[in-house]
Chain A
């Protein structure tokens, strides 16, 4: 009886596995960033080989934030998913958690064709090297129209004339 039950279970397990095989690609798979290709796609290595997914995939990032992009550092853990469960459409969708030493990207940008608005309702909007806790906005950001005295050069007003650098309006 035990043998029959075991055989039945084995058969049932195989059937269920076969019937659900199409869901293999509906998963988030952990990969480690090995390097970044010149075209900004990530070369990745699987974290847990037991998942059965390939070791290396040079694939693109699909950021969850419109206009935002970044380049994770080597060693960072990212999550890969497959669009519509299609093995030919892998993308990187998530990045390291904030407590991960590799959380900060090598570079990042956030852009918009119109207005890029930050902290519209925030009591404090920090740019530069300010810290979150305790709040400390000691960093310096040059705003449009700010004047800076440069020894040997004189006073430079940013945003006008020869120094059209800053677009920050505050």
Chain B
């Protein structure tokens, strides 16, 4: 399987996918190409990951080019200015208006349904990373491989391809898995194996590619 970043072949890939927030991928490029910047596409087999280069963690050293890609526009880490929302109508400040304006201010794109609930007549956004605002209003938010931000929790899913359980540490509840494609694993996927005491759900994972994908998955 070839892994490419904007068409440049990668020697290594390490993908960290948390339950909430954006995913993050570290790659080392083959050859000595220019260090990419801005929006990029990371292709790993059948999966395409849309993200943005984090310049502070991407550079060339001699013949080695390492790049860090953050999901979407890498905008949720941007520090936004203060903002006061106010609406005297009985419905109060709408979640949608706060989320839409915050996403627009940090350059991210929202998709899917909005969380339920209601804010009061006011909402005070303090100076700070945009992720704090979405984390407060939509605690289950996450960014997909397509670079779009979702505001509600992921659905539970079942494996659609073989996942080989190599090891499991009951203390840390971290499983060592082997998969063929990145698409074979997802947060919320329920893992069942006769060697496990009970079925468990993947809460977060780190996938490292070295001819195959080895995954350290935190199970709950």
A interface residue numbers (CB < 8 A to B) = 21-22, 24-25, 51-59, 82, 86-90
Contact yes or no, B126 A57, CB < 8 A: no
Residue of A whose beta carbon sits closest to that of B118: A88
| Interchain CB contact (< 8 A) of B128 among A52, A86, A88, A89 | A52
Per the CB 8 Å criterion, the residue count for chain B at the interface is: 18
A selection of 10 A-B contacts at a CB cut-off of 8 Å is A24-B128, A54-B124, A55-B82, A55-B84, A57-B84, A82-B124, A87-B123, A88-B122, A89-B122, A90-B122
Alpha-carbon separation in the docked complex, A59 to B84 (Å)? 11
Alpha-carbon separation in the docked complex, A53 to B125 (Å)? 7
Contact yes or no, A88 B93, CB < 8 A: yes
Q: Which residues of chain A have C-beta atoms less than 8 A from B120's C-beta? A: 86, 88-89
| Interchain CB contact (< 8 A) of B124 among A21, A22, A53 | A53
Q: Which residues of chain A have C-beta atoms less than 8 A from B119's C-beta? A: 88
Contact yes or no, B136 A87, CB < 8 A: yes
Give the residue among B82, B93, B125, B126 with the most A Cβ atoms within 10 A.
Answer: B126
Alpha-carbon separation in the docked complex, A86 to B83 (Å)? 15
Give the residue among A25, A54, A86, A90 with the most B Cβ atoms within 10 A.
Answer: A54
Alpha-carbon separation in the docked complex, A33 to B78 (Å)? 31
Alpha-carbon separation in the docked complex, A58 to B123 (Å)? 11
